[in-house]
Structure 1
Amino acid sequence: MTGSKVTPSFRLAYVPGVTPSKWVRIWNERLPGVPLDLMAVPAAEAFDVLRSGSADAGFVRLPVDRTDLSAIPLYTETTVVVVPKDHVVAAVDEVSAEDLADDVVLHPLDDVLGWERLPGRPAIERPATTADAVELVAAGVGVLVVPQSLARLHHRKDLTYRPVTDAPESRVALSWPQEQTTDLVEQFIGIVRGRTVNSTRGRPPTPAQPKSKRAETGGAQRKPAAGKATGRGAGKATGKSPRSAAGGGSKTGRRGKPRRRS
Protein backbone atom coordinates (compact mmCIF):
# COMPACT_ATOMS: atom_id res chain seq x y z
CA MET A 1 0.00 0.00 0.00
CA THR A 2 1.42 3.38 -1.00
CA GLY A 3 2.48 5.55 1.89
CA SER A 4 2.11 2.80 4.50
CA LYS A 5 4.53 2.87 7.41
CA VAL A 6 6.05 -0.30 8.82
CA THR A 7 5.76 -0.49 12.62
CA PRO A 8 9.24 -0.90 14.15
CA SER A 9 9.89 -3.92 16.34
CA PHE A 10 12.70 -5.14 18.56
CA ARG A 11 13.94 -8.73 18.20
CA LEU A 12 15.48 -10.20 21.35
CA ALA A 13 17.24 -13.57 21.39
CA TYR A 14 17.91 -15.52 24.57
CA VAL A 15 19.71 -18.75 25.40
CA PRO A 16 18.30 -21.59 27.52
CA GLY A 17 18.17 -20.80 31.22
CA VAL A 18 17.72 -17.04 30.81
CA THR A 19 14.32 -15.63 31.79
CA PRO A 20 13.84 -12.23 30.11
CA SER A 21 10.26 -11.66 31.33
CA LYS A 22 11.17 -8.83 33.76
CA TRP A 23 12.88 -6.76 31.06
CA VAL A 24 10.16 -7.53 28.52
CA ARG A 25 7.51 -6.23 30.95
CA ILE A 26 9.39 -2.94 31.44
CA TRP A 27 9.84 -2.60 27.68
CA ASN A 28 6.09 -3.01 27.09
CA GLU A 29 5.36 -0.37 29.73
CA ARG A 30 7.78 2.19 28.28
CA LEU A 31 7.42 1.48 24.56
CA PRO A 32 3.90 0.11 24.07
CA GLY A 33 4.00 1.04 20.38
CA VAL A 34 7.11 -1.07 19.63
CA PRO A 35 6.50 -4.84 19.73
CA LEU A 36 9.24 -6.96 21.30
CA ASP A 37 9.71 -10.33 19.59
CA LEU A 38 11.40 -13.07 21.65
CA MET A 39 13.62 -15.69 20.04
CA ALA A 40 14.76 -18.76 21.99
CA VAL A 41 18.06 -19.96 20.50
CA PRO A 42 20.62 -22.62 21.48
CA ALA A 43 23.67 -21.19 23.26
CA ALA A 44 25.99 -22.33 20.47
CA GLU A 45 23.95 -20.48 17.82
CA ALA A 46 23.30 -17.22 19.66
CA PHE A 47 26.27 -15.31 18.23
CA ASP A 48 25.50 -16.32 14.64
CA VAL A 49 21.93 -15.09 15.15
CA LEU A 50 23.23 -11.68 16.22
CA ARG A 51 25.81 -11.42 13.44
CA SER A 52 23.28 -12.34 10.77
CA GLY A 53 20.90 -9.59 11.90
CA SER A 54 18.16 -12.06 12.81
CA ALA A 55 18.04 -10.45 16.28
CA ASP A 56 18.79 -6.91 17.43
CA ALA A 57 20.25 -8.05 20.77
CA GLY A 58 20.41 -11.17 22.86
CA PHE A 59 21.07 -12.66 26.27
CA VAL A 60 24.09 -14.92 25.81
CA ARG A 61 26.71 -16.71 27.86
CA LEU A 62 30.25 -15.35 28.06
CA PRO A 63 32.82 -15.29 26.59
CA VAL A 64 31.87 -12.99 23.71
CA ASP A 65 34.09 -12.23 20.73
CA ARG A 66 34.51 -8.45 21.07
CA THR A 67 35.79 -8.09 17.51
CA ASP A 68 32.33 -7.31 16.18
CA LEU A 69 30.02 -7.78 19.16
CA SER A 70 29.45 -5.62 22.22
CA ALA A 71 28.52 -7.14 25.56
CA ILE A 72 27.44 -6.05 29.02
CA PRO A 73 28.02 -8.73 31.71
CA LEU A 74 24.93 -9.05 33.90
CA TYR A 75 25.31 -11.82 36.47
CA THR A 76 27.14 -15.03 37.35
CA GLU A 77 25.23 -18.24 37.96
CA THR A 78 25.69 -20.84 40.67
CA THR A 79 26.93 -24.18 39.34
CA VAL A 80 25.07 -27.29 40.58
CA VAL A 81 25.16 -31.04 40.15
CA VAL A 82 21.91 -32.75 39.13
CA VAL A 83 21.39 -36.14 40.81
CA PRO A 84 18.57 -38.59 41.55
CA LYS A 85 16.75 -37.84 44.81
CA ASP A 86 18.08 -41.07 46.36
CA HIS A 87 21.70 -40.20 45.53
CA VAL A 88 24.10 -39.67 48.45
CA VAL A 89 24.68 -36.05 47.33
CA ALA A 90 21.03 -35.27 48.05
CA ALA A 91 21.77 -35.62 51.79
CA VAL A 92 24.25 -32.69 51.91
CA ASP A 93 23.99 -28.93 51.29
CA GLU A 94 26.88 -28.66 48.81
CA VAL A 95 29.70 -30.69 47.31
CA SER A 96 33.11 -30.21 45.72
CA ALA A 97 34.32 -31.59 42.41
CA GLU A 98 36.38 -34.14 44.34
CA ASP A 99 33.19 -35.49 45.94
CA LEU A 100 32.07 -36.60 42.47
CA ALA A 101 35.24 -38.63 41.79
CA ASP A 102 33.39 -41.97 41.87
CA ASP A 103 30.44 -40.82 39.74
CA VAL A 104 30.01 -40.89 35.98
CA VAL A 105 29.79 -37.19 35.13
CA LEU A 106 27.93 -36.59 31.88
CA HIS A 107 29.36 -34.01 29.47
CA PRO A 108 26.78 -32.94 26.85
CA LEU A 109 27.90 -31.45 23.54
CA ASP A 110 26.12 -28.18 24.38
CA ASP A 111 27.96 -27.79 27.70
CA VAL A 112 28.36 -24.10 28.69
CA LEU A 113 30.83 -24.39 31.57
CA GLY A 114 34.05 -24.82 29.60
CA TRP A 115 35.76 -27.40 31.80
CA GLU A 116 39.55 -27.69 31.77
CA ARG A 117 39.21 -31.08 33.39
CA LEU A 118 35.84 -32.71 33.95
CA PRO A 119 35.45 -34.26 37.43
CA GLY A 120 34.44 -37.89 38.01
CA ARG A 121 34.55 -40.68 35.45
CA PRO A 122 33.66 -39.99 31.81
CA ALA A 123 30.64 -41.60 30.17
CA ILE A 124 31.05 -43.89 27.17
CA GLU A 125 29.41 -41.28 24.92
CA ARG A 126 28.65 -37.61 25.22
CA PRO A 127 24.93 -36.78 25.19
CA ALA A 128 23.90 -34.47 22.34
CA THR A 129 22.10 -31.95 24.57
CA THR A 130 21.64 -31.01 28.20
CA ALA A 131 18.05 -32.25 27.99
CA ASP A 132 19.33 -35.69 26.88
CA ALA A 133 21.83 -35.70 29.76
CA VAL A 134 19.06 -34.99 32.27
CA GLU A 135 17.16 -38.02 30.96
CA LEU A 136 20.26 -40.15 31.51
CA VAL A 137 20.60 -38.85 35.08
CA ALA A 138 16.98 -39.90 35.71
CA ALA A 139 17.83 -43.34 34.31
CA GLY A 140 20.69 -43.69 36.80
CA VAL A 141 23.46 -43.52 34.20
CA GLY A 142 25.38 -40.66 35.84
CA VAL A 143 25.22 -37.11 37.20
CA LEU A 144 25.29 -33.75 35.44
CA VAL A 145 26.99 -30.46 36.38
CA VAL A 146 25.28 -27.36 34.92
CA PRO A 147 24.37 -23.75 35.75
CA GLN A 148 21.48 -23.61 38.22
CA SER A 149 19.13 -22.04 35.67
CA LEU A 150 19.48 -25.09 33.40
CA ALA A 151 18.81 -27.42 36.33
CA ARG A 152 15.59 -25.50 36.96
CA LEU A 153 14.69 -25.45 33.27
CA HIS A 154 14.92 -29.26 33.06
CA HIS A 155 13.44 -29.92 36.49
CA ARG A 156 11.99 -33.36 37.20
CA LYS A 157 10.23 -34.61 40.32
CA ASP A 158 12.62 -37.53 40.66
CA LEU A 159 15.75 -35.33 40.48
CA THR A 160 17.34 -32.69 42.69
CA TYR A 161 20.51 -30.58 42.62
CA ARG A 162 23.17 -29.23 44.96
CA PRO A 163 25.81 -26.44 44.54
CA VAL A 164 29.33 -27.45 43.48
CA THR A 165 31.71 -25.10 45.28
CA ASP A 166 34.77 -25.31 43.00
CA ALA A 167 33.27 -25.83 39.55
CA PRO A 168 33.51 -23.34 36.66
CA GLU A 169 30.74 -20.73 36.58
CA SER A 170 28.67 -19.38 33.72
CA ARG A 171 28.20 -15.62 33.22
CA VAL A 172 25.22 -14.18 31.36
CA ALA A 173 25.54 -11.00 29.29
CA LEU A 174 23.53 -8.78 26.97
CA SER A 175 25.16 -8.67 23.53
CA TRP A 176 24.52 -6.95 20.20
CA PRO A 177 26.43 -6.18 16.96
CA GLN A 178 28.73 -3.19 17.46
CA GLU A 179 27.76 -1.56 14.18
CA GLN A 180 24.04 -1.90 14.94
CA THR A 181 23.77 0.06 18.19
CA THR A 182 20.41 1.55 17.24
CA ASP A 183 18.15 3.78 19.33
CA LEU A 184 16.05 0.73 20.24
CA VAL A 185 19.16 -1.15 21.36
CA GLU A 186 20.09 1.85 23.54
CA GLN A 187 16.57 1.81 24.99
CA PHE A 188 16.91 -1.86 25.91
CA ILE A 189 20.38 -1.35 27.38
CA GLY A 190 18.90 1.34 29.62
CA ILE A 191 16.18 -1.03 30.79
CA VAL A 192 18.63 -3.83 31.55
CA ARG A 193 20.92 -1.44 33.44
CA GLY A 194 18.03 -0.18 35.53
CA ARG A 195 17.85 3.36 34.18
CA THR A 196 14.65 5.21 34.93
CA VAL A 197 12.26 6.41 32.26
CA ASN A 198 13.56 9.98 32.86
CA SER A 199 17.19 9.07 32.24
CA THR A 200 19.05 11.72 30.23
CA ARG A 201 21.23 9.19 28.36
CA GLY A 202 21.06 9.95 24.68
CA ARG A 203 19.25 13.25 25.15
CA PRO A 204 20.86 16.63 24.33
CA PRO A 205 21.86 18.52 27.48
CA THR A 206 19.53 21.28 28.60
CA PRO A 207 21.09 24.68 27.75
CA ALA A 208 22.09 26.78 30.73
CA GLN A 209 19.70 29.65 31.46
CA PRO A 210 21.17 33.18 31.92
CA LYS A 211 21.15 34.34 35.51
CA SER A 212 19.24 37.46 36.47
CA LYS A 213 21.09 40.44 37.89
CA ARG A 214 19.44 39.84 41.24
CA ALA A 215 20.59 36.19 41.24
CA GLU A 216 24.17 37.26 40.50
CA THR A 217 24.24 39.47 43.62
CA GLY A 218 22.71 36.78 45.79
CA GLY A 219 19.38 38.59 46.03
CA ALA A 220 20.84 41.63 47.91
CA GLN A 221 21.05 45.20 46.60
CA ARG A 222 24.52 46.50 45.89
CA LYS A 223 25.64 49.28 48.27
CA PRO A 224 27.01 52.50 46.80
CA ALA A 225 30.73 53.09 47.06
CA ALA A 226 32.02 55.01 50.08
CA GLY A 227 32.19 58.76 49.64
CA LYS A 228 29.75 58.85 46.69
CA ALA A 229 26.46 58.76 48.63
CA THR A 230 24.48 62.00 48.23
CA GLY A 231 21.15 63.49 49.27
CA ARG A 232 18.76 61.50 51.39
CA GLY A 233 20.72 58.27 50.75
CA ALA A 234 23.85 59.65 52.39
CA GLY A 235 22.64 58.86 55.87
CA LYS A 236 21.75 55.33 54.98
CA ALA A 237 25.04 54.68 53.26
CA THR A 238 27.12 55.76 56.28
CA GLY A 239 24.78 54.55 59.00
CA LYS A 240 24.34 58.17 60.29
CA SER A 241 21.58 60.70 59.91
CA PRO A 242 22.22 63.80 57.72
CA ARG A 243 21.79 66.04 60.78
CA SER A 244 24.47 64.30 62.77
CA ALA A 245 26.76 64.10 59.78
CA ALA A 246 26.51 67.85 59.18
CA GLY A 247 27.06 68.76 62.79
CA GLY A 248 29.83 66.29 63.33
CA GLY A 249 28.18 65.27 66.57
CA SER A 250 27.21 61.86 67.74
CA LYS A 251 23.65 60.72 68.16
CA THR A 252 24.61 59.54 71.58
CA GLY A 253 26.60 62.68 72.56
CA ARG A 254 25.89 64.85 75.68
CA ARG A 255 23.40 67.71 75.41
CA GLY A 256 24.14 71.32 76.49
CA LYS A 257 22.65 72.91 79.63
CA PRO A 258 18.98 73.88 79.37
CA ARG A 259 18.15 77.61 79.20
CA ARG A 260 16.87 79.23 82.38
CA ARG A 261 13.33 80.45 82.24
CA SER A 262 12.81 84.19 82.82
Structure 2
Amino acid sequence: MTGSEVPPSFRLAYVPGVTPTKWVRIWNERLPDIPLTLVAVSTAEAFDVLRGRGADAGFVRLPVDREDLSAIPLYTETTVVVVPKDHIVAAVDEVTAEDLADEIVLHPLDDTLDWERPPGQPAFERPATTEDAVELVAAGIGLLVVPQSLARLHHRKDLTYRPVTDAPESRVALSWPQDATTDLVEDFIGIVRGRTVNSTRGRAQAPAAPAAPTKAKRPETGGGARRKPAAGKSSGKSTTGRNPRGGGSGGAKGGAKRGKPRRRS
Protein backbone atom coordinates (compact mmCIF):
# COMPACT_ATOMS: atom_id res chain seq x y z
CA MET A 1 0.00 0.00 0.00
CA THR A 2 1.41 3.39 -0.97
CA GLY A 3 1.25 6.42 1.24
CA SER A 4 -1.58 7.91 -0.83
CA GLU A 5 -3.91 4.92 -0.38
CA VAL A 6 -6.62 5.02 2.26
CA PRO A 7 -6.84 1.87 4.40
CA PRO A 8 -10.13 0.01 3.98
CA SER A 9 -12.96 0.68 6.42
CA PHE A 10 -16.71 0.12 6.58
CA ARG A 11 -19.31 2.70 7.61
CA LEU A 12 -22.64 1.42 8.84
CA ALA A 13 -25.61 3.76 9.31
CA TYR A 14 -28.52 2.90 11.58
CA VAL A 15 -31.82 4.55 12.45
CA PRO A 16 -33.23 5.02 15.97
CA GLY A 17 -34.50 1.81 17.53
CA VAL A 18 -32.11 -0.49 15.66
CA THR A 19 -29.37 -2.13 17.73
CA PRO A 20 -26.51 -3.26 15.45
CA THR A 21 -24.32 -4.58 18.31
CA LYS A 22 -24.55 -8.27 17.38
CA TRP A 23 -23.55 -7.73 13.75
CA VAL A 24 -20.75 -5.36 14.66
CA ARG A 25 -19.31 -7.97 17.04
CA ILE A 26 -19.31 -10.65 14.33
CA TRP A 27 -17.70 -8.23 11.88
CA ASN A 28 -14.89 -7.48 14.34
CA GLU A 29 -14.32 -11.20 14.87
CA ARG A 30 -14.16 -12.03 11.16
CA LEU A 31 -12.51 -8.88 9.79
CA PRO A 32 -10.42 -7.50 12.66
CA ASP A 33 -8.15 -5.53 10.32
CA ILE A 34 -11.02 -3.54 8.77
CA PRO A 35 -12.59 -1.09 11.24
CA LEU A 36 -16.36 -0.66 11.23
CA THR A 37 -17.66 2.81 12.05
CA LEU A 38 -21.27 3.32 13.19
CA VAL A 39 -23.16 6.34 11.82
CA ALA A 40 -26.32 7.28 13.72
CA VAL A 41 -28.93 8.86 11.42
CA SER A 42 -32.56 9.85 11.69
CA THR A 43 -35.17 7.85 9.82
CA ALA A 44 -35.81 10.77 7.47
CA GLU A 45 -32.17 11.32 6.48
CA ALA A 46 -31.04 7.68 6.25
CA PHE A 47 -31.54 7.28 2.50
CA ASP A 48 -29.83 10.56 1.64
CA VAL A 49 -26.83 9.48 3.72
CA LEU A 50 -26.57 6.25 1.69
CA ARG A 51 -26.98 8.04 -1.64
CA GLY A 52 -24.37 10.62 -0.67
CA ARG A 53 -21.92 7.84 0.31
CA GLY A 54 -21.97 8.96 3.91
CA ALA A 55 -22.22 5.25 4.75
CA ASP A 56 -21.54 2.02 2.87
CA ALA A 57 -24.76 0.39 4.11
CA GLY A 58 -27.39 1.07 6.70
CA PHE A 59 -30.20 -0.34 8.80
CA VAL A 60 -33.31 1.56 7.68
CA ARG A 61 -37.06 1.32 7.88
CA LEU A 62 -39.04 0.22 4.85
CA PRO A 63 -40.20 1.22 2.29
CA VAL A 64 -37.01 1.74 0.26
CA ASP A 65 -36.80 3.35 -3.18
CA ARG A 66 -35.59 0.36 -5.25
CA GLU A 67 -34.60 2.49 -8.23
CA ASP A 68 -31.19 3.22 -6.78
CA LEU A 69 -31.06 1.37 -3.46
CA SER A 70 -30.96 -2.33 -2.68
CA ALA A 71 -32.58 -3.69 0.46
CA ILE A 72 -32.87 -6.95 2.38
CA PRO A 73 -35.85 -7.04 4.80
CA LEU A 74 -34.73 -8.34 8.19
CA TYR A 75 -37.59 -8.29 10.68
CA THR A 76 -40.97 -6.74 11.52
CA GLU A 77 -41.53 -4.92 14.78
CA THR A 78 -44.49 -5.07 17.11
CA THR A 79 -46.41 -1.79 17.32
CA VAL A 80 -47.21 -0.52 20.82
CA VAL A 81 -48.99 2.37 22.50
CA VAL A 82 -46.99 4.30 25.11
CA VAL A 83 -49.06 5.33 28.14
CA PRO A 84 -48.56 6.55 31.72
CA LYS A 85 -48.34 3.65 34.18
CA ASP A 86 -51.56 4.74 35.89
CA HIS A 87 -53.53 4.88 32.60
CA ILE A 88 -56.42 2.46 32.11
CA VAL A 89 -54.66 0.90 29.10
CA ALA A 90 -51.88 -0.26 31.43
CA ALA A 91 -54.38 -2.63 33.06
CA VAL A 92 -54.80 -4.80 29.92
CA ASP A 93 -52.42 -6.99 27.91
CA GLU A 94 -53.14 -5.49 24.48
CA VAL A 95 -55.47 -3.06 22.71
CA THR A 96 -56.85 -2.30 19.25
CA ALA A 97 -56.85 1.02 17.42
CA GLU A 98 -60.57 1.28 18.17
CA ASP A 99 -59.81 1.12 21.90
CA LEU A 100 -57.90 4.38 21.48
CA ALA A 101 -60.72 6.19 19.64
CA ASP A 102 -61.50 8.57 22.50
CA GLU A 103 -57.87 9.22 23.45
CA ILE A 104 -55.63 12.02 22.24
CA VAL A 105 -52.95 10.21 20.25
CA LEU A 106 -49.79 12.13 19.37
CA HIS A 107 -48.52 11.89 15.79
CA PRO A 108 -44.91 13.18 15.63
CA LEU A 109 -43.44 14.51 12.40
CA ASP A 110 -40.88 11.69 12.33
CA ASP A 111 -43.53 8.97 12.71
CA THR A 112 -42.31 5.71 11.13
CA LEU A 113 -45.72 4.03 10.79
CA ASP A 114 -47.66 4.15 7.54
CA TRP A 115 -51.14 5.14 8.74
CA GLU A 116 -54.14 5.51 6.47
CA ARG A 117 -55.73 7.33 9.37
CA PRO A 118 -53.99 7.66 12.75
CA PRO A 119 -56.05 6.34 15.68
CA GLY A 120 -57.61 8.46 18.38
CA GLN A 121 -58.15 12.19 18.49
CA PRO A 122 -55.46 14.46 17.00
CA ALA A 123 -53.44 16.67 19.29
CA PHE A 124 -53.56 20.44 18.91
CA GLU A 125 -50.01 20.38 17.50
CA ARG A 126 -47.81 17.60 16.13
CA PRO A 127 -44.56 17.06 18.09
CA ALA A 128 -41.38 17.46 16.06
CA THR A 129 -39.85 14.14 17.13
CA THR A 130 -40.77 10.87 18.78
CA GLU A 131 -38.62 11.85 21.75
CA ASP A 132 -40.65 15.05 22.18
CA ALA A 133 -43.87 13.03 21.95
CA VAL A 134 -42.71 10.71 24.75
CA GLU A 135 -42.18 13.74 26.99
CA LEU A 136 -45.74 14.87 26.24
CA VAL A 137 -47.08 11.42 27.15
CA ALA A 138 -45.26 11.69 30.49
CA ALA A 139 -46.89 15.10 30.98
CA GLY A 140 -50.34 13.60 30.46
CA ILE A 141 -50.99 15.38 27.13
CA GLY A 142 -51.79 12.23 25.13
CA LEU A 143 -50.71 8.75 24.07
CA LEU A 144 -48.19 7.65 21.45
CA VAL A 145 -48.18 4.68 19.03
CA VAL A 146 -44.71 3.60 17.88
CA PRO A 147 -42.62 0.53 17.02
CA GLN A 148 -41.65 -1.31 20.19
CA SER A 149 -37.93 -0.57 19.75
CA LEU A 150 -38.64 3.17 19.96
CA ALA A 151 -40.70 2.69 23.10
CA ARG A 152 -37.70 0.91 24.61
CA LEU A 153 -35.24 3.51 23.33
CA HIS A 154 -37.16 6.34 25.04
CA HIS A 155 -38.11 4.35 28.12
CA ARG A 156 -39.11 6.22 31.27
CA LYS A 157 -39.90 4.78 34.70
CA ASP A 158 -43.28 6.50 34.76
CA LEU A 159 -44.37 5.11 31.38
CA THR A 160 -45.23 1.68 30.00
CA TYR A 161 -46.54 0.29 26.71
CA ARG A 162 -48.95 -2.30 25.34
CA PRO A 163 -49.23 -3.95 21.89
CA VAL A 164 -51.74 -2.53 19.41
CA THR A 165 -52.87 -5.63 17.54
CA ASP A 166 -54.29 -4.03 14.37
CA ALA A 167 -51.88 -1.12 13.88
CA PRO A 168 -49.44 -0.83 10.94
CA GLU A 169 -46.08 -2.47 11.57
CA SER A 170 -42.59 -1.16 10.92
CA ARG A 171 -40.14 -3.33 8.96
CA VAL A 172 -36.39 -2.98 9.33
CA ALA A 173 -34.05 -3.70 6.41
CA LEU A 174 -30.40 -3.54 5.43
CA SER A 175 -29.97 -1.14 2.51
CA TRP A 176 -27.09 0.09 0.34
CA PRO A 177 -26.63 1.89 -3.03
CA GLN A 178 -27.13 -0.50 -5.94
CA ASP A 179 -24.07 0.79 -7.78
CA ALA A 180 -21.84 0.41 -4.70
CA THR A 181 -22.18 -3.29 -3.87
CA THR A 182 -18.55 -3.64 -2.85
CA ASP A 183 -16.78 -6.69 -1.45
CA LEU A 184 -17.12 -5.23 2.05
CA VAL A 185 -20.86 -4.75 1.54
CA GLU A 186 -21.07 -8.40 0.44
CA ASP A 187 -19.17 -9.39 3.58
CA PHE A 188 -21.64 -7.53 5.77
CA ILE A 189 -24.63 -8.98 3.90
CA GLY A 190 -23.23 -12.42 4.67
CA ILE A 191 -22.99 -11.59 8.37
CA VAL A 192 -26.54 -10.24 8.52
CA ARG A 193 -27.89 -13.27 6.66
CA GLY A 194 -26.17 -15.60 9.09
CA ARG A 195 -23.63 -17.14 6.74
CA THR A 196 -20.93 -19.09 8.50
CA VAL A 197 -17.21 -18.41 8.26
CA ASN A 198 -16.87 -21.30 5.80
CA SER A 199 -19.66 -20.08 3.51
CA THR A 200 -18.79 -20.26 -0.19
CA ARG A 201 -20.14 -16.69 -0.56
CA GLY A 202 -17.57 -15.27 1.83
CA ARG A 203 -14.53 -13.68 0.16
CA ALA A 204 -12.07 -14.35 2.95
CA GLN A 205 -13.13 -17.96 3.27
CA ALA A 206 -13.09 -18.93 -0.40
CA PRO A 207 -9.68 -20.71 -0.46
CA ALA A 208 -10.45 -22.61 2.70
CA ALA A 209 -10.98 -26.30 2.22
CA PRO A 210 -8.93 -28.50 -0.07
CA ALA A 211 -9.74 -31.71 1.82
CA ALA A 212 -8.79 -33.98 -1.09
CA PRO A 213 -5.39 -35.04 0.35
CA THR A 214 -7.07 -36.69 3.32
CA LYS A 215 -9.33 -38.62 0.97
CA ALA A 216 -6.26 -39.94 -0.89
CA LYS A 217 -5.24 -41.84 2.24
CA ARG A 218 -8.35 -43.99 2.20
CA PRO A 219 -6.85 -46.73 -0.07
CA GLU A 220 -4.62 -47.62 2.88
CA THR A 221 -7.67 -49.02 4.63
CA GLY A 222 -8.31 -51.06 1.52
CA GLY A 223 -5.07 -52.90 2.25
CA GLY A 224 -6.87 -54.45 5.17
CA ALA A 225 -9.29 -56.02 2.74
CA ARG A 226 -6.39 -57.59 0.85
CA ARG A 227 -5.17 -59.18 4.07
CA LYS A 228 -8.23 -61.36 4.31
CA PRO A 229 -6.79 -64.11 2.07
CA ALA A 230 -3.75 -64.27 4.40
CA ALA A 231 -6.10 -64.67 7.32
CA GLY A 232 -7.79 -67.41 5.37
CA LYS A 233 -4.51 -69.30 4.98
CA SER A 234 -3.86 -69.28 8.69
CA SER A 235 -7.32 -70.52 9.52
CA GLY A 236 -7.87 -72.59 6.36
CA LYS A 237 -8.03 -76.40 6.01
CA SER A 238 -4.70 -76.93 4.21
CA THR A 239 -3.15 -78.72 7.25
CA THR A 240 -6.21 -80.85 7.87
CA GLY A 241 -6.20 -81.71 4.19
CA ARG A 242 -2.98 -83.73 4.78
CA ASN A 243 -4.56 -86.01 7.37
CA PRO A 244 -5.96 -88.52 4.86
CA ARG A 245 -2.41 -89.38 3.74
CA GLY A 246 -1.50 -90.75 7.13
CA GLY A 247 -4.96 -92.00 8.07
CA GLY A 248 -7.04 -90.82 11.05
CA SER A 249 -4.89 -92.46 13.73
CA GLY A 250 -1.66 -91.40 12.03
CA GLY A 251 -2.79 -87.81 12.10
CA ALA A 252 -3.40 -88.02 15.82
CA LYS A 253 0.00 -89.51 16.51
CA GLY A 254 1.70 -86.89 14.38
CA GLY A 255 -0.05 -84.27 16.40
CA ALA A 256 1.23 -85.75 19.65
CA LYS A 257 4.82 -85.57 18.47
CA ARG A 258 4.53 -81.84 17.67
CA GLY A 259 4.43 -80.07 20.96
CA LYS A 260 1.56 -81.14 23.21
CA PRO A 261 -1.48 -79.68 21.37
CA ARG A 262 -3.83 -81.85 23.49
CA ARG A 263 -3.40 -79.58 26.51
CA ARG A 264 -5.63 -77.01 24.77
CA SER A 265 -8.71 -79.18 25.40
TM-score (norm 1): 0.78
Residues 102 and 121 in structure 2, CA contact (< 8 A), matched pair in contact too: yes
Partner of 1:160: 160
What displacement does 1:7 show?
Answer: 1.6
Q: In the alignment, which residue of structure 1 is the partner of 2:103?
A: 103
Query: Residues 65-90 of structure 1: CA distance to partner in whole angstroms, max 9, x if unpaired?
Result: 11111100000000000000110000
Aligned partner of 1:173: which letter?
A: A
C-alpha distance in 2 between matches for 1:193 and 1:45: 25
Equivalent runs, 1:236-251 vs 2, <5 Å? none
Alignment partner of 1:50 is 2:50? yes
**Whole-angstrom distance in 2 between the partners of 1:205 and 1:2:** 29
What SS does structure 2 have at the residue aligned with 1:175? strand
Task: Give the whole-Å Cα distance in 2 for the aligned partners of 1:28 and 1:89.
Answer: 43
State the AA in 2 paired with 1:39.
Answer: V
CA RMSD of aligned residues (A): 3.2
TM-score, normalised on structure 2? 0.77
- Alpha-carbon displacement from aligned partner over 1:16-72 (angstroms, at most 9, x marks no partner): 000000000111111111010000100011000001111000000001111111100
Contact 2:100 2:119 in 1 (8 A): yes
Report the equivalent of 2:248. Answer: none
From the superposition, tell whether residues 86 and 206 of structure 1 become closer, same or farther in structure 2 (CA, over 3 Å): closer
Aligned partner of 1:24 in structure 2 is 24
AA in 1 matched with 2:175? S
Matches within 5 A, 1:61-140: 61-140=61-140
Instruction: Tell me the distance in 2 between the aligned counterparts of 1:186 and 1:109.
Output: 34
Q: Distance in 1 between matches of 2:34 and 2:42?
A: 26
Task: Compute the displacement of 1:207 (Å).
Answer: 9.3
Return the letter of the residue paired with 1:46. Answer: A
SS in 2 for 1:105: strand
Q: CA shift at 1:206, angstroms?
A: 8.1
Amino acid at match of 1:44: A
Cα shift at 1:205: 10
The secondary structure found in structure 2 opposite 1:187 is: helix
Deviation at 1:6, TM superposition (A): 2.4
For residues 218-229 of structure 1, the aligned pairs below 5 Å read: none
Q: 3-state SS of the aligned residue for 2:45?
A: helix
List structure 1 runs of 4+ shifted beyond 2 angstroms: 1-6, 202-209, 218-221
CA distance in 2, matches of 1:36, 1:208: 33
Find the residue that maps to 1:161 and give its secondary structure: strand
Unaligned runs of 5+ in 2: 227-265
Question: Equivalent residue for 1:41?
Answer: 41
1:224 is matched with none
Q: How many residues align?
A: 241
In the TM superposition, 1:179-190 aligns within 5 A as 179-190=179-190
Cα distance in 2 between the residues matched to 1:208 and 1:162: 54
1:122, CA displacement in angstroms? 0.6
Give 5+ residue unaligned stretches, structure 1.
Answer: 222-262
For the 8 Å contact 2:70–2:175, the answer to whether it is kept is yes
Higher helix share: 2
Identity of aligned residues (%): 84
CA distance in 2, matches of 1:174, 1:56: 11
Q: Which residue of 1 aligns with 2:233?
A: none
User: Equivalents in 1 of 2:148, 2:177: separation in Å?
Assistant: 28
- How many Å separate the matches in 1 of 2:27 and 2:153? 24
Work out whether 1:192 is the aligned partner of 2:200.
no
For 2:75, what is the secondary structure of its paired residue?
strand
Per-residue CA deviation, residues 158-210 of structure 1 (Å, 9 max, x unaligned), is: 1100000000000000000111010100110011011111111154898997x
Kindly state the Cα deviation for residue 99 of structure 1 after the two structures are TM-superposed.
Answer: 0.5
How far does residue 135 in structure 1 lie from its aligned partner after superposition? Answer: 0.7
Counterpart of 2:171 in structure 1: which amino acid?
R
Find the aligned partners of 2:162 and 2:178 in 1 and give their Cα distance: 38
Deviation at 1:2, TM superposition (A): 6.2
Alpha-carbon distance in structure 1 between the residues aligned to 2:163 and 2:121: 19
